[in-house]
Every structure is written in C-alpha cells, then in structure tokens.
Amino acid sequence: MSVGRICVVGGCGHVGLPLALAFARAGAHVCSFDIDQKAVDGVNAGRMPFDEPQGPQVLAEVLAAGRFVASTDAAEVGRADVVIVVIGTPVDEHLNPDTQAVPDAVASLASHLRDDQTLILRSTVYPGVTRLVEERLAAAGKHTAVAFCPERIAEGKAFVELYSLPQIVSGRTSRAIEVATEVFSMLTDSIVETSPEEAELAKLFTNTWRYIKFAAANQFYMIANEHGIDFERVRHAITFDYPRAADMPGAGFAAGPCLFKDTMQLAAFNNNNFFLGHASMMVNEGLPMYLVDRMERRFDLKQMKVGILGMAFKAESDDIRSSLSYKLRRILRYKAADVVCTDPYVTVDPNLVDLETVLNEADVLVVGTPHPVYRTLKPRQPVVDVWNALGHGVLV
C-alpha cells in the first residue's frame, strides 16, 4: 500500500501546517487546504504565518521539491488519498464544547470525499465525535474510512516531537487502522493502537492532567506567598535530587488554546461532575486577579503605570490565543493609572510597544510571559515575577 496524496484540512494553522510540511519532507505529496487566503498566499510564497522553529527551512525545502502546495480550493480534498482534518474545537462563552465543529467541517467536505479515501481526524474532539462523523458520512452515503489520530505536539516543538513522540492511532475498521498506521509511520516508528473512544479520552486526559498539575503549583504558590514564603525556594528544596517530585512545575499562567478548553470539554462529557477540573480552572484563571490584588496591597496602583513583559501564552512563542497576559492587562486597566505592554515575538497586536519604552515609562513591571530575553534585565523598578524569570524569587 502507498500513502499517495495527502490533504490537510486546516493546513495553514499552528497544528496543520507543521504536520503537512513534515509529511511533505518525508516524501509525500501534500496539499494544505485552508480558508484563509492571506495565509495560503503567504505559505505558497515561502512565508510561515507564525513562528515555528525549523518551519521556514522545511517550507522552503518542500516547496522547492514540488511536494507541497497550499490552497483554498476545496476540490483538493477530492484529489487526495488521505484527508487529515485539523481544525479548532473551541468552548463557548458558557464553557460548553462545540461538539459539531468537526462533524460540520467534514459534512461541508462530504461532496468531495470518495469511498476509497481515508479520513483522519486529528483535532482534539469531544468524546463520541469520531462516531458522530462516521454516522454523518454513512447517512450521506459515503463509505470513507475514518480514523482518529490525536495531535500530541507542543507548539514550538513540532519538528522535534512529530518524529520523537509515539502516535496514537485509532479506528473502527482494519482499513482505517492500516492506512493511518502507514501514514504516521512516515514520521515515527512508535504507534499505539486504541479504539476511537480510548484515543479521544487519552487526548483530553493528557491536557487535563497538565492543567491540574499547573493548578496545584499555582495554589501552592498562593499559599506560600500569603505567608511571606518564596514558593520557588520551597519548590527547589522539594525537587532537588528527589525523583518523585521532579515533575512539579513552577508557578505561572496556565494558558493557551488547549489546556483550559480540554479540561472544560472533559467536564462537560462527565455531566459537569468534575470538581477537580473546575477547581483547577478557578485557580489558574484566577492567578492574574490574585497577582493584581497582591500588587494593590504593596503599591498605590491608581497612581502608577504598570508595564507587562510578554503577551504570548508561553515563552518563545508569538501565539496570543487565550493568553492570560491579556486578562492581566484588562484587570490592570481598571486598577492602575495606565498599562503599557511589550513582547518580542508578537506582531499581531498594534497596541504593543518596544521593551525600552516599557522599561523607561513603567513604575512597576509584571512578567506576563517568561521569554528568555527578560532573564538578563536589571530594571530600576520593582518586578512582579511569578515565573522567577529574572531569578530573584516569586514573592509579591
């Protein structure tokens, strides 16, 4: 069996594009189908629409080899042998998951799908969505094989982890399993086979587990801080040469487009009977307010301009999706005289200024994102640094 041509739906996004480029680099002919014309044009011109280490080099390589193209033409779906769906699966303003996002996307492409194709769902989905897609396709008279192979990479590490991490492969038919295994064996030698329902929960459990760990660390931080004790010194004492505590994270903003969303998806799946998940959400989402409250006790914020260092949701990223630095900015706009923000990676926010301006104008600084460039700063003003990015402790 030969993999043939691959079409990645949502193929110019943070997850879809690195995947498409990796397959093209491995020798497949790949089309990234996306509705964002600007992103498609940029990618075809050799420009990555976001930061991803090695991305520009790999893009240039596969374009030159003629194995990759981006397109807004949905007919590309029908020209592929394998269609991989990578689209966002958000929760709404009431924290309810959108269970129809992926099925609706597949339904919109159904007229292009063929019975001899394999459809691979890669988006993180609400448990049962894989079966729902299968049922929708069957109702439309389609016999396309369906597999669910969840994305597992961390943003910024795509061209390392796509090759090094085991890939979960699931399907309800031997054909779906066989094709999906062959496809992802182009990237990794390690395949873990499960049922679709097991794979759906595996992805949600993974992200929720990380979110809960971050919440535990943030709660520990608040407890220590309330008693005038530097949590980072406590954490060092706990983790130093002590393997059973080696995975205890530091405090910081647990944000981004996945962890919070997937914790809420899991809660909804269990009829909102998930006290640990909801408690984690309250701790993690409450950290910006906690920091501002502590700042109010220490400073006369109404008379001060606050500078926020870093607006991306994590270090060395330009992605601001669900970044808690923006929640911090909203709170400070109400509590402080003024707020000024900077980020060396983010280019999509016209309100950001350069680092020198923030250092010159701000009366107090808050590290929102622990970018490496901040580690060597020696600011004249006090710094609120829950990440310990500057190495002076995390007490506020």
In whole angstroms, what is the distance from residue 331 CA to residue 318 CA?
22
Q: Where in the chain is the domain with CATH 3.40.50.720?
A: 5-198, 205-384
For the segment 38-45, the average pLDDT, to the nearest whole number, is 97
In whole angstroms, what is the distance from residue 11 CA to residue 17 CA?
5
The pLDDT, as a whole number, for residue 233 is 97
Model pLDDT for residues 62-111, shown as the tens digit of each residue: 999 999 999 999 999 999 999 999 988 878 877 788 888 999 999 999 99
For the segment 238-254, the average pLDDT, to the nearest whole number, is 97
For the segment 16-36, the average pLDDT, to the nearest whole number, is 97
Q: Note the Cα 389 to chain centre separation in Å.
A: 22
CATH class of 205-384: alpha beta
Q: Which residues contact 188 (CB under 8 A, 6 or more apart)?
A: 162, 163, 164, 165, 166, 167
Query: Cβ(166)–Cβ(192) under 8 Å?
Result: yes
The pLDDT, as a whole number, for residue 326 is 98
The pLDDT, as a whole number, for residue 98 is 86
Q: Which two tokens stand for residue 38?
A: 């600007």
Predicted model pTM: 0.94
The pLDDT, as a whole number, for residue 95 is 78
Alpha helix ranges (H) inside the chain: 16-25, 37-44, 55-65, 75-79, 101-109, 129-139, 158-164, 174-184, 196-226, 231-239, 259-269, 275-298, 324-335, 355-361
Mean pLDDT for all residues in the chain: 96
Helices (runs of H) and strands (runs of E) counted in the chain = 14, 12
The pLDDT, as a whole number, for residue 273 is 96
Q: For residues 67, 167, 43 and 76, what is the CA-based torsion angle, rounded to 10 degrees?
A: 60
For the segment 180-202, the average pLDDT, to the nearest whole number, is 97
The pLDDT > 90 percentage for the chain reads: 94
Q: Give yes or no for residue 1 having a pLDDT over 70.
A: no
Q: Which CATH superfamily is domain 5-198 in?
A: NAD(P)-binding Rossmann-like Domain (3.40.50.720)
Q: Which two tokens stand for residue 245?
A: 């505590």
The pLDDT, as a whole number, for residue 96 is 84
Instruction: Please classify residue 41 by burial: count the beta carbons closer than 10 Å to its beta carbon, then call 0-12 exposed, 13-18 middle and 19+ buried.
Output: middle
Q: How confident is the model at residue 263 (pLDDT cuts 50, 70, 90)?
A: very high
Secondary structure class of 149 (helix, strand, coil): coil
Instruction: Provide the pairing of β-strand 191-194 with 145-148.
Output: unpaired
Q: How confident is the model at residue 3 (pLDDT cuts 50, 70, 90)?
A: confident
Q: Give yes or no for residue 171 having a pLDDT over 90.
A: yes
Q: How confident is the model at residue 61 (pLDDT cuts 50, 70, 90)?
A: very high
Model pLDDT for residues 313-360, shown as the tens digit of each residue: 999 999 999 999 999 999 999 999 999 999 999 999 999 999 999 999
